[in-house]
Amino acid sequence: MPAFPAPGPLNGIRVLDLTRILAGPFCSMVLADLGADVVKVEEPSGDQSRKTGPFAETDSGARYSTYFMSVNRGKRSIVIDLKHPEGRSVFLNLADTADVVLENFRPGVMDRLGVGYDVLKVRNPRVIMASVSGFGQTGPLASRAALDVIVQAMGGILSITGEPGGGPVRPGVSMGDITAALFTSIAVLAAVVERDRSGEGQRVDVSMLDCQAAILENPLMRYFALGEMPERLGTRHPVVNPVQAFRTADGYVAISASDGPAGHWGALCRAIERPGLLDDHRFDTSWGRTQHLDEMVPVIAEAMAGRTTTEWVSRLAEAGVPVGPVQDVAQVAADPQLRSRHMFAELEHPAVGPVTFVNTPIKMSRTQGGPRSVQPELGEHTDDVLGDLGLSAADIAALRRQGAVA
| Binds a second copy (CB under 8 A): choice among 10, 102, 272, 277 | 10
Binding status of residue 13 toward a second copy by CB under 8 A: yes
Q: Which stretch binds a second copy (CB under 8 A): 193-201, 273-281, 298-306, 393-401?
A: 193-201
Give the total residue count for the chain.
406
* Angle of the 217-226 helix axis to the 208-215 helix axis, nearest 10: 70
Q: Which stretch binds a second copy (CB under 8 A): 190-198, 271-279, 295-303, 392-400?
A: 190-198
Binding status of residue 19 toward a second copy by CB under 8 A: no
Show the binding pattern over residues 216-255: x = contacts a second copy (CB under 8 A), - = does not: xxxxxxxxxxx-xxx-xxxxxx-xx--xxx-x----xxxx
What DSSP line would sit under 142-153, residue for residue? TTS---HHHHHH
CA Rg value for the chain:
25
Catalytic residue numbers, as ranges: 177
- In this complex, which beta carbon is closest to a second copy, that of residue 124 or of residue 159? 159
Residue ranges in 373-402 that form contacts with a second copy under rule CB under 8 A: none
Binding status of residue 127 toward a second copy by CB under 8 A: no
- In this complex, which beta carbon is closest to a second copy, that of residue 240 or of residue 293? 240
CA nearest neighbour of 43 among 127, 134, 115, 143: 115
- In this complex, which beta carbon is closest to a second copy, that of residue 190 or of residue 393? 190
Distance, CA of 257 to CA of 275 (rounded, Å): 15
- In this complex, which beta carbon is closest to a second copy, that of residue 197 or of residue 401? 197
The footprint of a second copy on this chain (CB under 8 A) covers a number of residues equal to: 157
Q: Min. distance of Cβ 383 from a second copy in angstroms?
A: 28
Binding status of residue 194 toward a second copy by CB under 8 A: yes
Query: Does residue 23 contact residue 107 with C-beta atoms inside 8 Å?
Result: no
Residue 23 CB partners (closer than 8 Å, separation 6+): 104, 132, 176, 177, 178, 180, 181, 184, 208
Encoded amino acid at 48, one letter: Q
Distance, CA of 156 to CA of 211 (rounded, Å): 11
Q: Min. distance of Cβ 293 from a second copy in angstroms?
A: 14
Query: Does residue 127 contact residue 201 with C-beta atoms inside 8 Å?
Result: yes
Residue 237 three-state SS: coil
Binding status of residue 126 toward a second copy by CB under 8 A: no
Residue ranges in 253-312 that form contacts with a second copy under rule CB under 8 A: 253-256, 258, 286-287, 290
Residue ranges in 332-361 that form contacts with a second copy under rule CB under 8 A: 332-333, 335-338, 340-341, 343-344, 352, 355-361
Q: Which stretch binds a second copy (CB under 8 A): 64-72, 87-95, 376-384, 398-406?
A: 64-72
Query: Does residue 38 contact residue 77 with C-beta atoms inside 8 Å?
Result: no
| Binds a second copy (CB under 8 A): choice among 16, 23, 32, 34 | 34
Q: Min. distance of Cβ 181 from a second copy in angstroms?
A: 9
Upstream peptide bond of 54 is cis (omega within 30 degrees of 0) = yes
Binding status of residue 62 toward a second copy by CB under 8 A: no
Q: Which stretch binds a second copy (CB under 8 A): 38-46, 63-71, 106-114, 397-405?
A: 63-71
- Extract the runs of DSSP E, i.e. beta strands, from 111-232: 128-133, 203-207
Binding status of residue 60 toward a second copy by CB under 8 A: no
Query: Does residue 368 contact residue 3 with C-beta atoms inside 8 Å?
Result: no
Binding status of residue 167 toward a second copy by CB under 8 A: yes
Distance, CA of 130 to CA of 187 (rounded, Å): 8
Q: Min. distance of Cβ 357 from a second copy in angstroms?
A: 7
Residue ranges in 66-105 that form contacts with a second copy under rule CB under 8 A: 66-67, 69-71
- Taking CA atoms, 143 is separated from 153, 168, 301, 372, in Å, by 18, 27, 49, 36
CA nearest neighbour of 4 among 267, 391, 345: 345
